[in-house]
Amino acid sequence: MFQSPDSRKHISLMLSEVLDDIGVNERMVMKARRHFKLMETMTNITWKSVGHNIISYCLGSRIEGTTTLGLISDTDELLFNNDNNVIQDWSEWEHGKTNFIIIQDENTTPGYCFLQLLQHDIPLSATVVPNKYYIIDKEGRILHKNQVYETDNMKYVTRHGPSFATQGQQGDYDADKVVAYPFKSWPKSTASGWLERQGIGKWPTQEMRRYAASTWCFVVPTGSKISKYPELEWRISTSLAERCLMFDLDITHIKCYVLMKIILKSLLNPHGEINISSFMCKTILFHCIEQKEPRIWKENNLLECLKYCLMKLSSCVQNDNLPHFIIPENNLMAGQFTDETKHQLLKNISDFIQDDVQSLLTNNIDDLGERLQVKLKFLPEGHNNLDTSLDICKTVSTTHYLSLSMYCSITHRFYLNGLSNKDIGIMKQTVERLMTLNDNDNNLEHAAFTFQAPFLCSTYGSALASESIGLKHQVSPQALVWLLNGLESDVSSGRLKLASVFYSTGDIEKTELILRHTECQFYSYPVFPMCNCWDMMPPPEIKTVCFEQIEDCVKNITAFCVRFLKQEINCVPHELQYEMFRSTEDDIKHRDQNEDWMDLATIDSLPFLYFLQYKVYRHLQRYQDQRQALSKLANIIEINKYLGHKETALNILGQCMEQENRPKQALEFYLLSLRQRPRNNVAKIHICRLLSCLLIGKKIDKNTYNMKSLVIM
């Protein structure tokens, strides 16, 4: 039924349209690449600005744009410390670095190596075993074992070969992190052989090969499955070159690869086992592009392209041999399959090739089968209310926006953790180092800088202001300049910091003006509160905005939480200062790795805005506005499900109740705060302080209250 050439061309075009609809199209691929390159650049700017010689690369399907919502792909990140140096010969040894020389002999698997430790001050072999992660072999060489990274706190990660898997928050991606050592020159035999190779497909071009070969190699801590010394072997990785090759593919290549991964997930690894990896599929694709005429890679020939790739895969499984595309002596399938697994894989691949269209018509991933049936008019339009292409692209764009805005929050927290309890001079060095990294000629670096710098400018400006307020009871001009540079971080947090500074100096008129302008911002667009201290999902109304302008959304529709270091304490209203001291020694023991923010004064933007309004209008004796601000504060706590620091907002509201001479209502809010977060909550202090103001023995109603009714009663 589906075997005539014309029929297969038509089905190929319809299949290509289905892939367009589920987000595998040129626009979404380029959007994904831009997004993850930007995240990568932000990471590297962060490391540089705090003085660490660490470099990170984003790898895999996310940055390639070769995934779909149904494939649920992780992000892959390769990290390395540039103070390490892997060399091939002694001329590459560098003074002061941790140097290793690679060893490849009859004891190492092709594509793998041992690492021999060298001395850091003179180019000689090391003679002392530094720790338990090294051993002396029978020739007296000190070799580095590949289990070293398992010494880190592994509570929140899972080992997957050379990588560690970490679970992302809602709106963010799960991540596989590979910690590697840099290998700045390619293995000579590998580089020369690959550069000289040329297949029928004339791909990659010689220029592309030379460019790819100019990237760094790495060694990653994993041994071959057939190794005699698996604990000592390190795999040689050309992942950056492979990323360059993926960026050179056209949309038909990418669609073919995505189809292979869909088949992999649904047919070859249906229960989550990893018999065939996506990297194997990528390698198969590379070999097929190199070995086939370029003219076959057309969208109306998509079924035949997929068939070529699967036949190549079948041949590799049959022969237990899939040569790495760049390092062909490395057999990716060596020791990979049992006889039973191999037999089943060959059967599954053969069954698919024999009846490929029917298999695709029944595939459930991303509703591929149903969508193809609709395109072929086997099912009516609108069948099963399938999401439209626009809906899917909006969802993907919103996920990009969430991860980008969350990453802004993460990097800001990273800076704050590094600056906590440091003097103002250290803070100045960090800010100035970040400023030197603003490369206006590099679009990505400039964009990354504009996301990160405003947060740090606000923090530094506020710390300077706190210092000058402590000495002179006024804000220095220098501090004001930095604070103004931080206003464009997002909708609110930079402005609220400036308002808090003015309030602390008694400049009530400027404070009120900033607050009024900031409140208007909240009602000009659909604004989404963002805080990576908790899990969240976006409101549906932001999807259209995200589809049109992902990067602009971070500044135009995002309200980050407001964070104060202890060095900023003179710029923090005294009601919020308590939050810097929320934890007892016992509380600290019960924190998890994501709760480092608890040493800061941290509050969501909108509650902080209404709290400052309450204080300002109280000072100005505008009592109706004061009551309205208090009512808004209570209302936002009750109805807004996107607050990350609800317990802090409740503590602030409780203190407002005390100032209103309503201690019973204050106590009720503190109790609600404790229900929200029983540990690491300064509400305990507020309750102990307040109980002395209440009649001993008077029963306190602990039922949940309507916030607004408590305020206006």
Residue 501 contacts by C-beta under 8 Å, 6 or more apart in sequence?
A: 461, 462, 465, 475, 479, 483, 571
Q: Using CA atoms, how far apart are residues 324 and 211, in angstroms rounded to an integer?
A: 19
Strand 134-136 to 528-530 pairing: unpaired
- Residue 452: phi and psi, rounded to 5, are -90, -40
Mean pLDDT along residues 364-387: 92
* pLDDT score at 153: 39
Judged against a pLDDT cut of 50, whether residue 156 lies above it is answered with no
pLDDT value of position 532: 79
**Which tokens go with 313?**
């895969």
Confidence of residue 302 (pLDDT cuts 50, 70, 90): very high
**Taking residues 566-589, what's their average pLDDT?**
92
Q: CB–CB of 21/372 below 8 Å? A: no
pLDDT higher than threshold 90 for residue 371? yes
In DSSP notation, 590-652 reads T--TT-GGGGSEEE-HHHHHHHHHHHHHHHTT-HHHHHHHHHHHHHHHHH-TT-S-HHHHHHH
Average pLDDT over residues 224-229: 92
Beta strand 84-87 pairing with 98-103: parallel
How high is the pLDDT of residue 534?
A: 65
pLDDT by residue (tens digit) across 508-552? Answer: 999 999 999 999 988 877 788 888 776 666 566 677 777 777 788
pLDDT-derived band at 696, boundaries 50, 70, 90: low
Confidence of residue 165 (pLDDT cuts 50, 70, 90): very low
DSSP 578: G
Q: Which of 212, 201, 215 is nearest to 252 (CA)?
A: 201
Which residues are CB-neighbours of 446 under 8 A, at least 6 positions away? 438, 439, 440
Q: What is the pLDDT of residue 350?
A: 96
Mean pLDDT of 677-684: 93
Separation CA 202–CA 446 (nearest Å): 36
Residue 310 amino acid letter: L
Report the share of the chain in percent with pLDDT over 90: 66
pLDDT at 169: 46
What pLDDT, in 10s, does the model give residues 465-483? 999 999 888 899 999 999 9
Give the model's pLDDT for residue 611: 98
Looking at 100-109, 580-589, 704-713, which range is the least confident one? 704-713
Query: Angle 85-86-92 (CA atoms, 0-180°, nearest 5)?
Result: 80
Q: How does pLDDT run across 245-280, given as a tens digit for each residue?
A: 999 999 999 999 999 999 999 988 877 777 899 999
Encode 572-597: b = buried (16+ Cβ within 10 Å), e = exposed.
bbebbbbbbebbeeebeeeeeeeeeb
Instruction: Give the containing element (helix H, strand E) for 530.
Output: strand 528-530
Bridge-based pairing of strands 157-160 and 142-144 is unpaired
Domain assignments of the chain as residue spans, ordered by start: 1-48+249-386, 83-245, 390-572
The pLDDT assigned to 154 comes to 38
Q: How far apart are CA 104 and CA 318, in angstroms?
A: 28
Q: How many residues can be counted in the chain?
A: 713
Average the pLDDT over 344-354 and give the result: 95
* Between residues 197 and 500, the one the model is more confident about: 500
More confident residue, 624 or 711: 624
Average pLDDT, the chain: 88
| Helices 646-659 & 663-676 angle (0-180, nearest 10) | 170
Q: Evaluate whether 649 touches 633 at the Cβ level (below 8 Å).
A: yes
Average pLDDT score over residue span 159-183: 60
Task: For residue 292, report the phi and psi dihedrals to the nearest 5 degrees.
Answer: -110, 155
What's the CA gap between 383 and 361, in Å, rounded? 14
The pLDDT score that the predictor gives to residue 536 is 60
Kindly report, residue by residue over 70-89, the tens digit of the pLDDT: 998 888 899 999 999 999 98
Bigger pLDDT: 353 or 590? 353
Name the more confident of 49 and 64. 64
pLDDT at 50: 87
pLDDT at 174: 56
Among 180-194, 331-345, 607-621, where is mean pLDDT lowest? 180-194
Distance CA 467, CA 425 (A): 12
Provide Rg for the chain, Cα atoms: 30
- Closest C-alpha to 11, from 248, 304, 266, 261: 304
1-48+249-386 in CATH: which number?
A: 1.10.1410.40
336-375 residues labelled b (16+ CB within 10 A) or e (exposed): bbeeeebeebbebbeebeeebbebbbebebbbbbbbbbbb
Instruction: Please report the pLDDT score of residue 436 as a whole number.
Output: 84
Task: Give yes or no for residue 638 having a pLDDT over 60.
Answer: yes
How much is the pLDDT for 713? 42
* The pLDDT value given to residue 538: 59
Q: What is the pTM of this model?
A: 0.88
Contact call for residues 613 and 499 (beta carbons, < 8 A): no
| Cβ atoms of 456 and 412 closer than 8 Å | yes
pLDDT at 520: 93
Determine the pLDDT at residue 327.
92
Query: Which of 518, 519, 272, 554 is CA-nearest to residue 409?
Result: 554
Contact in structure between 328 and 108 (CB atoms under 8 Å): no
Q: Give the model's pLDDT for residue 29.
A: 97
Q: Name the percent of the chain in helix, strand, coil, to the closest 5.
A: 55, 10, 35
Spatial separation of the C-alpha atoms in residues 51 and 418, rounded to whole Å: 11
User: What per-residue confidence (pLDDT) applies to 362?
Assistant: 95
Q: What's phi and psi for 180, nearest 5 deg?
A: -125, 170
Would you state the pLDDT for residue 708? 45
Give the DSSP H/E element, type plus range, for residue 525.
none
What is the three-class DSSP state of 178? strand
**Is the omega angle on the peptide bond into residue 204 within 30 degrees of 0, that is, cis?**
yes
Please give the C-alpha separations between residue 111 and each of 334, 554, 616, in angstroms, as whole numbers: 12, 43, 68
Residue 159 has pLDDT above 80, yes or no: no
Q: In this predicted structure, what is the pLDDT of residue 193? A: 82
In which band, very low, low, confident or very high, does the pLDDT at 698 lie, cut at 50, 70 and 90?
very low
**Residue 709: burial class (beta carbons within 10 Å; 0-12, 13-18, 19+):** exposed
Sign of CA dihedral 220, 224, 230, 232: negative
Q: Where are the alpha helices (DSSP H) in 355-442?
A: 356-361, 368-375, 389-419, 424-435
> What mean pLDDT is predicted for residues 439-459?
88
Rounded to an integer, the average pLDDT of 93-106 is 94
